Amino acid sequence: MAGQGDRELTGDGAGPVFTLATGPSGTTTPATLAALAQPVLHHTDPAFRALYARTVELLRAAFGTGQDPVILQGEAVLGLEAAAASAIAPGEVVLNLVSGVFGRAFGRLARRYAGEVIEIEAGYDSAVPAAAVRDALAARPDIGIVSVVHCETPSGTMNDLDAIAAELAGYDALLLVDAVSSFGGARCDFDGWPADVAVVAPQKCLGGPPGLSLLHVSDDAWRHIEANPHAPRGSVLSVLEWRDAHLPGRSFPFTPSVSEVYALHSCLEQYLAEGPDTVRARHRAAARAARAGAVALGLKLWAADESICSDTVTALAMPDGVDEAKVRAVARAESRVMLAGGQGELAGRVLQIGHMGPAAYPLSPVIALVALGSALRKVGAAADIGGAVEAALAAGSAE
Ligand SMILES: *Cc1c(COP(=O)(O)O)cnc(C)c1O
Protein backbone atom coordinates (compact mmCIF):
# COMPACT_ATOMS: atom_id res chain seq x y z
CA MET A 1 0.00 0.00 0.00
CA ALA A 2 3.01 2.27 0.24
CA GLY A 3 3.50 4.65 -2.66
CA GLN A 4 6.58 4.19 -4.79
CA GLY A 5 7.71 7.63 -3.70
CA ASP A 6 8.30 6.66 -0.08
CA ARG A 7 12.02 6.22 -0.60
CA GLU A 8 12.27 9.69 -2.12
CA LEU A 9 9.84 11.11 0.43
CA THR A 10 11.85 10.10 3.46
CA GLY A 11 15.27 10.04 1.84
CA ASP A 12 16.27 6.93 3.77
CA GLY A 13 13.91 4.27 2.51
CA ALA A 14 12.34 4.18 5.95
CA GLY A 15 8.86 5.44 5.06
CA PRO A 16 5.79 3.67 6.35
CA VAL A 17 4.82 0.56 4.41
CA PHE A 18 1.28 0.74 5.78
CA THR A 19 -0.56 3.83 7.01
CA LEU A 20 -3.51 2.58 9.06
CA ALA A 21 -4.20 5.87 10.80
CA THR A 22 -7.24 8.11 11.07
CA GLY A 23 -6.73 10.33 8.05
CA PRO A 24 -4.94 11.02 5.94
CA SER A 25 -5.80 7.40 5.46
CA GLY A 26 -2.56 6.89 3.65
CA THR A 27 -3.31 4.31 1.08
CA THR A 28 -3.99 6.66 -1.78
CA THR A 29 -4.89 4.63 -4.87
CA PRO A 30 -2.95 4.78 -8.16
CA ALA A 31 -5.87 6.68 -9.73
CA THR A 32 -5.76 9.35 -7.02
CA LEU A 33 -1.98 9.64 -7.28
CA ALA A 34 -2.23 9.99 -11.05
CA ALA A 35 -4.80 12.75 -10.61
CA LEU A 36 -2.47 14.62 -8.23
CA ALA A 37 0.29 14.44 -10.83
CA GLN A 38 -1.71 16.22 -13.57
CA PRO A 39 -0.43 19.57 -14.84
CA VAL A 40 -1.72 22.41 -12.69
CA LEU A 41 -4.07 24.38 -14.93
CA HIS A 42 -4.90 28.02 -14.44
CA HIS A 43 -8.10 28.19 -12.45
CA THR A 44 -9.91 30.20 -15.15
CA ASP A 45 -8.96 27.68 -17.82
CA PRO A 46 -12.18 26.30 -19.33
CA ALA A 47 -10.87 22.76 -18.84
CA PHE A 48 -10.42 23.38 -15.11
CA ARG A 49 -13.79 25.15 -14.82
CA ALA A 50 -15.42 22.09 -16.42
CA LEU A 51 -13.58 19.69 -14.10
CA TYR A 52 -14.59 21.77 -11.07
CA ALA A 53 -18.25 21.75 -12.15
CA ARG A 54 -18.13 17.96 -12.63
CA THR A 55 -16.54 17.60 -9.20
CA VAL A 56 -19.40 19.52 -7.56
CA GLU A 57 -21.85 17.27 -9.43
CA LEU A 58 -20.08 14.10 -8.27
CA LEU A 59 -19.97 15.43 -4.72
CA ARG A 60 -23.70 16.10 -4.77
CA ALA A 61 -24.25 12.53 -5.98
CA ALA A 62 -21.98 11.23 -3.21
CA PHE A 63 -23.79 13.34 -0.58
CA GLY A 64 -27.07 12.00 -1.99
CA THR A 65 -28.80 15.36 -1.57
CA GLY A 66 -30.61 17.81 -3.80
CA GLN A 67 -28.27 20.65 -2.78
CA ASP A 68 -25.18 21.79 -4.62
CA PRO A 69 -22.37 21.28 -2.09
CA VAL A 70 -19.73 23.91 -1.38
CA ILE A 71 -16.01 23.19 -1.64
CA LEU A 72 -13.77 25.30 0.61
CA GLN A 73 -10.05 25.51 0.02
CA GLY A 74 -8.60 24.31 3.27
CA GLU A 75 -8.42 21.20 5.42
CA ALA A 76 -11.57 20.22 7.36
CA VAL A 77 -10.85 22.43 10.36
CA LEU A 78 -11.27 25.40 8.01
CA GLY A 79 -14.65 24.00 6.99
CA LEU A 80 -15.68 23.68 10.62
CA GLU A 81 -14.55 27.23 11.32
CA ALA A 82 -16.43 28.48 8.26
CA ALA A 83 -19.56 26.62 9.39
CA ALA A 84 -19.34 28.17 12.86
CA ALA A 85 -18.56 31.67 11.60
CA SER A 86 -21.35 31.56 9.01
CA ALA A 87 -24.16 29.86 10.87
CA ILE A 88 -23.67 31.26 14.37
CA ALA A 89 -25.09 34.76 14.32
CA PRO A 90 -24.41 37.33 17.04
CA GLY A 91 -26.37 36.48 20.19
CA GLU A 92 -27.12 32.95 18.93
CA VAL A 93 -27.64 30.23 21.54
CA VAL A 94 -25.74 27.08 20.58
CA LEU A 95 -26.28 23.62 22.05
CA ASN A 96 -22.98 21.80 21.58
CA LEU A 97 -22.86 18.05 22.13
CA VAL A 98 -19.57 16.81 23.54
CA SER A 99 -18.55 13.16 23.59
CA GLY A 100 -14.92 13.57 22.65
CA VAL A 101 -11.99 15.70 21.59
CA PHE A 102 -13.57 17.15 18.43
CA GLY A 103 -16.85 18.04 20.14
CA ARG A 104 -14.88 19.82 22.86
CA ALA A 105 -12.91 21.73 20.20
CA PHE A 106 -16.07 22.79 18.37
CA GLY A 107 -17.40 24.26 21.60
CA ARG A 108 -14.32 26.47 21.85
CA LEU A 109 -14.87 27.58 18.26
CA ALA A 110 -18.59 28.22 18.80
CA ARG A 111 -17.89 30.42 21.85
CA ARG A 112 -16.03 32.82 19.56
CA TYR A 113 -19.24 33.60 17.63
CA ALA A 114 -22.19 32.68 19.87
CA GLY A 115 -24.03 34.66 22.53
CA GLU A 116 -24.14 31.52 24.66
CA VAL A 117 -22.90 27.95 24.30
CA ILE A 118 -24.72 25.28 26.30
CA GLU A 119 -23.04 21.89 26.39
CA ILE A 120 -24.24 18.36 26.96
CA GLU A 121 -21.26 16.29 27.99
CA ALA A 122 -21.01 12.54 27.71
CA GLY A 123 -17.94 10.54 28.70
CA TYR A 124 -15.35 10.35 25.93
CA ASP A 125 -16.04 6.59 25.77
CA SER A 126 -19.78 7.19 25.32
CA ALA A 127 -22.32 8.77 23.00
CA VAL A 128 -24.64 11.70 23.70
CA PRO A 129 -28.12 10.36 24.57
CA ALA A 130 -30.85 11.76 22.33
CA ALA A 131 -33.07 12.17 25.40
CA ALA A 132 -30.61 14.73 26.78
CA VAL A 133 -30.98 16.73 23.56
CA ARG A 134 -34.77 16.53 23.90
CA ASP A 135 -34.60 17.87 27.47
CA ALA A 136 -32.20 20.67 26.55
CA LEU A 137 -34.38 21.84 23.65
CA ALA A 138 -37.49 21.73 25.82
CA ALA A 139 -35.75 23.74 28.55
CA ARG A 140 -34.29 26.30 26.17
CA PRO A 141 -36.50 26.94 23.14
CA ASP A 142 -34.16 29.83 22.26
CA ILE A 143 -31.47 27.36 21.11
CA GLY A 144 -30.75 28.29 17.49
CA ILE A 145 -28.03 25.78 16.62
CA VAL A 146 -27.30 22.22 17.71
CA SER A 147 -23.77 21.05 16.88
CA VAL A 148 -22.61 17.46 17.00
CA VAL A 149 -19.69 15.29 15.87
CA HIS A 150 -20.96 12.19 14.07
CA CYS A 151 -17.83 10.05 14.54
CA GLU A 152 -15.54 11.08 17.41
CA THR A 153 -12.36 9.86 15.74
CA PRO A 154 -10.03 9.68 18.79
CA SER A 155 -12.71 7.75 20.74
CA GLY A 156 -13.76 5.56 17.81
CA THR A 157 -17.39 6.24 18.75
CA MET A 158 -20.49 7.35 16.87
CA ASN A 159 -23.25 9.68 17.98
CA ASP A 160 -26.66 8.42 16.81
CA LEU A 161 -27.63 11.12 14.32
CA ASP A 162 -30.90 9.42 13.39
CA ALA A 163 -32.07 9.76 17.00
CA ILE A 164 -30.48 13.15 17.73
CA ALA A 165 -31.73 14.80 14.54
CA ALA A 166 -35.25 13.50 15.22
CA GLU A 167 -35.29 15.51 18.46
CA LEU A 168 -35.00 18.75 16.48
CA ALA A 169 -38.33 18.15 14.74
CA GLY A 170 -40.75 20.88 15.77
CA TYR A 171 -37.96 23.31 16.63
CA ASP A 172 -36.37 25.94 14.39
CA ALA A 173 -32.85 25.04 15.51
CA LEU A 174 -30.33 24.23 12.79
CA LEU A 175 -28.25 21.05 13.02
CA LEU A 176 -24.50 21.33 12.39
CA VAL A 177 -22.74 18.01 11.87
CA ASP A 178 -19.03 17.24 11.79
CA ALA A 179 -19.15 14.20 9.50
CA VAL A 180 -15.46 14.40 8.65
CA SER A 181 -14.51 10.88 9.70
CA SER A 182 -17.87 9.18 9.10
CA PHE A 183 -18.83 10.26 5.60
CA GLY A 184 -17.95 7.62 3.05
CA GLY A 185 -17.57 4.86 5.63
CA ALA A 186 -20.77 5.15 7.63
CA ARG A 187 -24.31 6.08 6.58
CA CYS A 188 -24.89 9.84 6.42
CA ASP A 189 -28.40 11.01 5.55
CA PHE A 190 -27.93 14.77 5.21
CA ASP A 191 -31.36 15.40 3.61
CA GLY A 192 -33.22 12.90 5.76
CA TRP A 193 -31.95 13.83 9.22
CA PRO A 194 -31.82 16.70 8.06
CA ALA A 195 -28.33 18.14 8.60
CA ASP A 196 -28.39 21.88 7.92
CA VAL A 197 -24.63 22.18 7.67
CA ALA A 198 -22.45 19.10 7.37
CA VAL A 199 -18.67 19.22 7.05
CA VAL A 200 -16.79 16.44 5.28
CA ALA A 201 -13.18 16.06 4.12
CA PRO A 202 -11.44 14.05 1.41
CA GLN A 203 -8.64 12.63 3.56
CA LYS A 204 -10.67 10.25 5.66
CA CYS A 205 -13.02 7.67 4.11
CA LEU A 206 -12.71 9.04 0.57
CA GLY A 207 -9.00 8.27 0.62
CA GLY A 208 -7.83 11.62 -0.71
CA PRO A 209 -5.16 14.06 0.43
CA PRO A 210 -5.97 16.69 3.08
CA GLY A 211 -6.55 20.20 1.79
CA LEU A 212 -10.26 20.73 1.11
CA SER A 213 -13.48 21.02 3.11
CA LEU A 214 -16.71 19.73 1.60
CA LEU A 215 -19.91 21.28 2.92
CA HIS A 216 -23.55 20.36 2.63
CA VAL A 217 -25.78 23.36 3.36
CA SER A 218 -29.59 23.12 3.56
CA ASP A 219 -32.03 25.77 2.29
CA ASP A 220 -32.82 26.74 5.88
CA ALA A 221 -29.13 27.14 6.62
CA TRP A 222 -28.58 29.26 3.50
CA ARG A 223 -31.38 31.62 4.58
CA HIS A 224 -29.88 31.83 8.06
CA ILE A 225 -26.36 32.48 6.74
CA GLU A 226 -27.53 35.11 4.23
CA ALA A 227 -29.29 36.94 7.05
CA ASN A 228 -26.24 36.82 9.32
CA PRO A 229 -24.42 40.15 8.88
CA HIS A 230 -21.31 38.61 10.46
CA ALA A 231 -21.12 35.59 8.12
CA PRO A 232 -17.69 35.82 6.46
CA ARG A 233 -17.63 37.74 3.20
CA GLY A 234 -14.47 38.60 1.30
CA SER A 235 -12.78 35.79 3.22
CA VAL A 236 -11.48 32.27 2.55
CA LEU A 237 -14.12 31.24 5.09
CA SER A 238 -16.95 32.59 2.95
CA VAL A 239 -19.38 29.82 2.05
CA LEU A 240 -21.55 32.54 0.49
CA GLU A 241 -18.86 33.38 -2.05
CA TRP A 242 -17.83 29.81 -2.84
CA ARG A 243 -21.48 28.75 -3.04
CA ASP A 244 -22.12 29.00 -6.77
CA ALA A 245 -18.52 29.22 -7.95
CA HIS A 246 -19.01 26.19 -10.18
CA LEU A 247 -21.88 27.70 -12.19
CA PRO A 248 -21.36 28.95 -15.76
CA GLY A 249 -20.74 32.67 -15.87
CA ARG A 250 -19.48 32.74 -12.26
CA SER A 251 -15.90 32.98 -11.12
CA PHE A 252 -13.88 31.75 -8.16
CA PRO A 253 -13.56 34.29 -5.33
CA PHE A 254 -9.94 33.13 -4.87
CA THR A 255 -7.70 30.60 -6.55
CA PRO A 256 -8.87 27.10 -5.67
CA SER A 257 -6.40 24.36 -4.74
CA VAL A 258 -6.23 22.99 -8.28
CA SER A 259 -4.41 19.72 -7.57
CA GLU A 260 -6.61 18.93 -4.57
CA VAL A 261 -9.65 19.35 -6.79
CA TYR A 262 -8.17 16.87 -9.30
CA ALA A 263 -7.67 14.39 -6.47
CA LEU A 264 -11.16 14.94 -5.08
CA HIS A 265 -12.68 14.41 -8.53
CA SER A 266 -10.81 11.12 -8.84
CA CYS A 267 -11.72 9.97 -5.31
CA LEU A 268 -15.40 10.70 -5.93
CA GLU A 269 -15.35 8.82 -9.25
CA GLN A 270 -13.82 5.83 -7.49
CA TYR A 271 -16.30 6.05 -4.60
CA LEU A 272 -19.34 6.28 -6.86
CA ALA A 273 -18.09 3.57 -9.25
CA GLU A 274 -17.59 1.15 -6.36
CA GLY A 275 -20.93 2.20 -4.88
CA PRO A 276 -21.57 3.72 -1.43
CA ASP A 277 -23.21 0.51 -0.13
CA THR A 278 -20.24 -1.62 -1.16
CA VAL A 279 -17.81 0.89 0.34
CA ARG A 280 -19.73 0.93 3.62
CA ALA A 281 -19.86 -2.88 3.71
CA ARG A 282 -16.07 -3.16 3.58
CA HIS A 283 -15.72 -0.48 6.28
CA ARG A 284 -18.07 -2.60 8.43
CA ALA A 285 -16.09 -5.76 7.74
CA ALA A 286 -12.79 -4.03 8.53
CA ALA A 287 -14.24 -2.69 11.77
CA ARG A 288 -15.46 -6.12 12.83
CA ALA A 289 -12.01 -7.53 12.14
CA ALA A 290 -10.29 -4.74 14.07
CA ARG A 291 -12.50 -5.09 17.13
CA ALA A 292 -12.47 -8.88 17.34
CA GLY A 293 -8.73 -8.99 16.68
CA ALA A 294 -7.92 -6.34 19.26
CA VAL A 295 -9.91 -8.12 21.95
CA ALA A 296 -8.22 -11.43 21.10
CA LEU A 297 -4.86 -9.65 21.24
CA GLY A 298 -5.69 -8.85 24.86
CA LEU A 299 -6.72 -5.20 24.58
CA LYS A 300 -9.93 -3.46 25.58
CA LEU A 301 -12.03 -1.41 23.21
CA TRP A 302 -12.03 2.19 24.45
CA ALA A 303 -15.76 2.56 23.81
CA ALA A 304 -17.94 1.70 26.80
CA ASP A 305 -20.28 -0.27 24.52
CA GLU A 306 -19.46 -2.00 21.25
CA SER A 307 -22.77 -0.83 19.76
CA ILE A 308 -21.44 2.74 19.50
CA CYS A 309 -18.14 1.76 17.85
CA SER A 310 -17.42 3.38 14.50
CA ASP A 311 -16.98 1.41 11.29
CA THR A 312 -14.21 3.80 10.27
CA VAL A 313 -11.84 3.76 13.25
CA THR A 314 -11.21 1.49 16.24
CA ALA A 315 -9.96 3.07 19.46
CA LEU A 316 -8.15 0.85 21.94
CA ALA A 317 -7.35 1.42 25.60
CA MET A 318 -3.76 0.60 26.47
CA PRO A 319 -2.99 -1.74 29.38
CA ASP A 320 -2.11 0.05 32.64
CA GLY A 321 1.35 1.53 32.52
CA VAL A 322 1.67 1.26 28.72
CA ASP A 323 2.06 4.56 26.85
CA GLU A 324 0.33 4.49 23.47
CA ALA A 325 2.83 6.95 22.00
CA LYS A 326 5.65 4.54 22.81
CA VAL A 327 3.75 1.62 21.30
CA ARG A 328 3.03 3.57 18.12
CA ALA A 329 6.64 4.66 17.84
CA VAL A 330 7.80 1.04 18.11
CA ALA A 331 5.22 -0.14 15.55
CA ARG A 332 6.36 2.57 13.16
CA ALA A 333 10.07 1.88 13.67
CA GLU A 334 10.03 -1.94 13.78
CA SER A 335 7.09 -2.80 11.50
CA ARG A 336 6.85 0.42 9.47
CA VAL A 337 3.16 0.59 10.29
CA MET A 338 1.74 4.03 11.04
CA LEU A 339 -1.06 4.01 13.62
CA ALA A 340 -2.89 6.97 15.19
CA GLY A 341 -3.11 8.32 18.73
CA GLY A 342 -1.94 11.19 20.84
CA GLN A 343 -5.14 13.20 20.49
CA GLY A 344 -6.29 15.67 23.12
CA GLU A 345 -7.36 14.31 26.48
CA LEU A 346 -6.91 10.71 25.25
CA ALA A 347 -3.19 11.15 24.48
CA GLY A 348 -1.03 8.52 26.15
CA ARG A 349 -3.94 6.20 26.91
CA VAL A 350 -5.82 5.49 23.70
CA LEU A 351 -4.52 4.39 20.32
CA GLN A 352 -6.50 4.17 17.08
CA ILE A 353 -6.42 1.81 14.15
CA GLY A 354 -7.89 3.65 11.17
CA HIS A 355 -9.80 1.63 8.60
CA MET A 356 -10.84 4.35 6.25
CA GLY A 357 -11.22 4.56 2.51
CA PRO A 358 -8.66 2.48 0.66
CA ALA A 359 -7.50 1.02 4.01
CA ALA A 360 -10.97 -0.29 4.84
CA TYR A 361 -10.51 -3.96 4.00
CA PRO A 362 -10.57 -6.74 6.60
CA LEU A 363 -6.90 -7.55 6.05
CA SER A 364 -5.74 -4.02 6.93
CA PRO A 365 -6.52 -4.33 10.65
CA VAL A 366 -4.74 -7.70 10.64
CA ILE A 367 -1.56 -5.91 9.62
CA ALA A 368 -2.19 -3.21 12.23
CA LEU A 369 -2.81 -5.83 14.93
CA VAL A 370 0.37 -7.78 14.15
CA ALA A 371 2.42 -4.57 14.33
CA LEU A 372 0.59 -3.50 17.48
CA GLY A 373 1.07 -6.90 19.14
CA SER A 374 4.77 -6.95 18.32
CA ALA A 375 5.16 -3.44 19.72
CA LEU A 376 3.26 -4.32 22.90
CA ARG A 377 5.63 -7.25 23.47
CA LYS A 378 8.62 -4.96 22.91
CA VAL A 379 7.41 -2.66 25.68
CA GLY A 380 6.85 -5.62 27.99
CA ALA A 381 3.11 -6.18 27.63
CA ALA A 382 1.46 -9.47 26.66
CA ALA A 383 -0.14 -9.90 23.23
CA ASP A 384 -1.72 -12.96 21.64
CA ILE A 385 -0.79 -12.19 18.05
CA GLY A 386 -1.83 -15.55 16.62
CA GLY A 387 -5.19 -15.38 18.36
CA ALA A 388 -5.71 -11.82 17.13
CA VAL A 389 -5.03 -12.82 13.52
CA GLU A 390 -7.44 -15.77 13.70
CA ALA A 391 -10.16 -13.68 15.36
CA ALA A 392 -9.77 -10.77 12.93
CA LEU A 393 -9.88 -13.03 9.89
CA ALA A 394 -12.96 -14.83 11.18
CA ALA A 395 -14.79 -11.60 12.07
CA GLY A 396 -13.80 -9.88 8.85
CA SER A 397 -15.34 -12.58 6.71
CA ALA A 398 -18.49 -13.11 8.80
CA GLU A 399 -21.58 -10.98 8.17
C1 LIG B 1 -9.93 14.55 10.98
C2 LIG B 1 -11.05 15.22 11.62
C3 LIG B 1 -11.21 16.61 11.52
C4 LIG B 1 -10.17 17.45 10.86
O5 LIG B 1 -9.29 17.76 11.87
P6 LIG B 1 -7.72 17.57 11.92
O7 LIG B 1 -7.37 17.79 13.36
O8 LIG B 1 -7.12 18.56 11.04
O9 LIG B 1 -7.40 16.17 11.47
C10 LIG B 1 -12.33 17.18 12.08
N11 LIG B 1 -13.26 16.43 12.71
C12 LIG B 1 -13.14 15.08 12.85
C13 LIG B 1 -14.19 14.31 13.56
C14 LIG B 1 -12.02 14.44 12.29
O15 LIG B 1 -11.87 13.12 12.40
Q: What is the pLDDT of residues 308-324, one digit of tens each?
A: 999 999 999 999 999 99
Q: What is the pLDDT of residue 1?
A: 44
Q: Whose CA is nearest to atom 7 of ligand 1?
A: 77
Are 301 and 285 within 8 A, CB to CB? no
pTM listed for this prediction: 0.96
Ligand 1: atom nearest CA of 149 is 13
- C-alpha angle 354/273/311, rounded to 5°? 25
Q: Which amino acid does the sequence have at 394? A: A
Interval between CA 71 and ligand 1 midpoint (Å): 16
Instruction: Read off the pLDDT of residues 184-220 as tens digits, 9 standing for 90 and up.
Output: 999 999 999 999 999 999 999 999 999 999 999 999 9
Interval between CA 101 and ligand 1 midpoint (Å): 10
Q: What is the mean pLDDT of residues 319-335?
A: 97
Ligand 1: atom nearest CA of 80 is 10
Interval between CA 76 and ligand 1 midpoint (Å): 6
For residue 160, give Cα distances in angstroms to 44, 170, 214, 302.
Answer: 42, 19, 21, 18
Question: Which of 75, 101, 149, 180 is the best mutation target for the ligand 1 pocket, counting ligand atoms within 8 Å of the beta carbon and taking the most?
Answer: 180
Ligand 1: atom nearest CA of 153 is 15
Question: Which of 153, 176, 182 is the best mutation target for the ligand 1 pocket, counting ligand atoms within 8 Å of the beta carbon and taking the most?
Answer: 153
Q: What is the pLDDT of residue 2?
A: 45
Q: What is the largest CA-CA distance in the chain?
A: 64
C-alpha 9 chain-centroid distance: 25
Q: What is the pLDDT of residue 12?
A: 58
Q: What is the pLDDT of residue 320?
A: 96
Interval between CA 89 and ligand 1 midpoint (Å): 24
Phi, psi of 347, deg, nearest 5? -55, 140
Ligand 1: atom nearest CA of 313 is 15
Measured CA to CA, the distance from residue 307 to residue 290 in angstroms comes to 14
Q: What is the pLDDT of residue 13?
A: 66
Asked whether the predicted pLDDT for residue 4 surpasses 80, the reply is: no
Query: Which residues contact ligand 1 via a Cβ below 6 A?
Result: 23, 75-77, 102, 149, 151, 153, 178, 180-181
Interval between CA 83 and ligand 1 midpoint (Å): 14
Question: Which of 157, 177, 178 is the best mutation target for the ligand 1 pocket, counting ligand atoms within 8 Å of the beta carbon and taking the most?
Answer: 178
Interval between CA 107 and ligand 1 midpoint (Å): 14
Instruction: Read off the pLDDT of residues 25-42 as tens digits, 9 standing for 90 and up.
Output: 876 899 999 999 999 999
Asked whether the predicted pLDDT for residue 11 surpasses 60, the reply is: no
Are 77 and 215 within 8 A, CB to CB? no
Measured CA to CA, the distance from residue 146 to residue 123 in angstroms comes to 19
Interval between CA 156 and ligand 1 midpoint (Å): 12
Instruction: Read off the pLDDT of residues 228-255 as tens digits, 9 standing for 90 and up.
Output: 999 999 999 999 999 999 999 999 999 9
In the chain, where does DSSP find H-type helix? Answer: 6-10, 30-36, 46-63, 76-87, 101-113, 130-139, 161-166, 219-227, 239-242, 258-274, 276-297, 324-330, 363-378, 385-397
Q: What is the pLDDT of residue 162?
A: 98
Interval between CA 80 and ligand 1 midpoint (Å): 9
Q: Range with the lowest mean pLDDT among 12-16, 47-51, 86-90, 364-368?
A: 12-16
Question: Which of 104, 181, 215 is the best mutation target for the ligand 1 pocket, counting ligand atoms within 8 Å of the beta carbon and taking the most?
Answer: 181
